[in-house]
């Protein structure tokens, strides 16, 4: 069992999936593996996204363990004028 990566909106579109399971001991390692798997388009979306672990804002140096959930939330556009 690894870390569950959950992708929303443009991150999901760039990766071609809504979730995956990756190994890593930090948020940064998990995201590096995701970039290696999904490519430059995903990396571009990731650059402007917020990252959360288990429902809390996270930094690349934050540690993660098997069973944790890393969520990538790109900026949202649109809404009422």
CATH number for the domain spanning 44: value is 3.10.20.30
In Å, what is the CA distance from 67 to each residue of 4, 8, 80? 7, 19, 38
Q: Which whole number is the average pLDDT over 51-59?
A: 98
Report the pLDDT value the prediction gives residue 51, as an integer from 0 to 100: 98
In Å, what is the CA distance from 22 to each residue of 25, 29, 59, 69, 77? 10, 9, 17, 10, 29
- pLDDT tens for 8-29 read 999 999 999 999 999 999 999 9
Report the pLDDT value the prediction gives residue 20, as an integer from 0 to 100: 98
- Segments forming the whole domain that contains residue 52: 3-73
On whether residue 36 sits in a domain, the answer given is yes
On whether residue 80 sits in a domain, the answer given is no
- pLDDT tens for 59-80 read 999 999 999 999 999 997 655 5
Flag whether pLDDT at 81 surpasses 80.
no
Q: Are 39 and 15 in contact (CB under 8 A)?
A: no
């Amino acid at each position: 069992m690894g870390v569950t990566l959950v992708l929303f909106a443009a991150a999901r579109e760039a990766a071609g999936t809504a979730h995956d399971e990756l190994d890593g001991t930090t948020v940064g390692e998990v995201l590096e593996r995701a970039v290696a798997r999904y490519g430059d388009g995903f990396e571009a979306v990731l650059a402007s996204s917020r990252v959360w672990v288990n429902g809390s804002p996270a930094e690349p140096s934050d540690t993660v363990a098997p069973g944790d959930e890393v969520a990538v939330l790109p900026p949202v556009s649109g809404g009422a004028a």
